A and B are shown apart, each in its own frame.
Chain A
Amino acid sequence: EPEVTQTPSHQVTQMGQEVILRCVPISNHLYFYWYRQILGQKVEFLVSFYNNEISEKSEIFDDQFSVERPDGSNFTLKIRSTKLEDSAMYFCASNPEIFNTEAFFGQGTRLTVV
């Protein structure tokens, strides 16, 4: 069964450092997303991406965040200067289409900022 894969599974970084979280969506999917979940809290939308550009972003997704689809398969989330409060699980998801279809989630990257 096709799946969304994320790397690394766990990343520890020092405050102020840049991190890049990587995702390989399912190959025929068109819509890509990043969500995050702070420990003990709900899953929150960060950004959606379609047709090689951002479709929508949340207020969490400030100038420290950026997304790219550099080579037609990978989908990356970059955090330029990490803060302690960026510590969370980051989930990548993809959809073949929008409505009434399952969003497939990757297994997540646990980011710990120290």
Chain B
Amino acid sequence: RKEVEQDPGPFNVPEGATVAFNCTYSNSASQSFFWYRQDCRKEPKLLMSVYSSGNEDGRFTAQLNIASQYISLLIRDSKLSDSATYLCVVLRGGNQGGKLIFGQGTELSVKP
């Protein structure tokens, strides 16, 4: 079983649509949770951290359910510029740095 699993993509949506991405993680020792965005052949960039209380940043809302080891990302009113691969990422590890474990990513394509 993969440590971080995401919805297989791609998601093709029209501008203005609401789209939701789901992610599950298998290691209960995971300590921090993130959504990253990756544009084609570029480095991953942090979109938002995810907290168990849920958090929102503009059109983006992230949720974390620790009991069910589930993470979600909701994008409202999607824009053409939201087209990218969205990576569910968990931090696991000890006091000397830990490591980020990446999901395989879900590709989003927003069409006019």
Contacts and interface: CB of A to CB of B under 8 A. Distances in A.
Which of A41, A55, A91, A93 is most buried by chain B, counting CB atoms within 10 A of its CB?
A55
A41 B104 contact: yes
Interface of A: 31-33, 35, 41-45, 48-51, 55-56, 58, 89, 91, 93, 95, 98-100, 102-103, 105-108, 110
Contacts of A43: 38, 44, 87, 100, 102
- Determine the main DSSP class of A at the interface with B: strand
11 contacts: A31-B96, A42-B103, A43-B44, A48-B98, A55-B96, A56-B93, A58-B99, A93-B100, A102-B46, A107-B42, A107-B43
Contact of A48 (B34, B46, B97, B105): B97
B53 interface: no
B97 A56 contact: yes
B26 to A, nearest CB: 15
Given A42-B104, A44-B102, A100-B32, A49 B43 contact: no
A78 B54 CA distance: 41
B31 interface: yes
Contact of B98 (A89, A98, A106, A108): A98
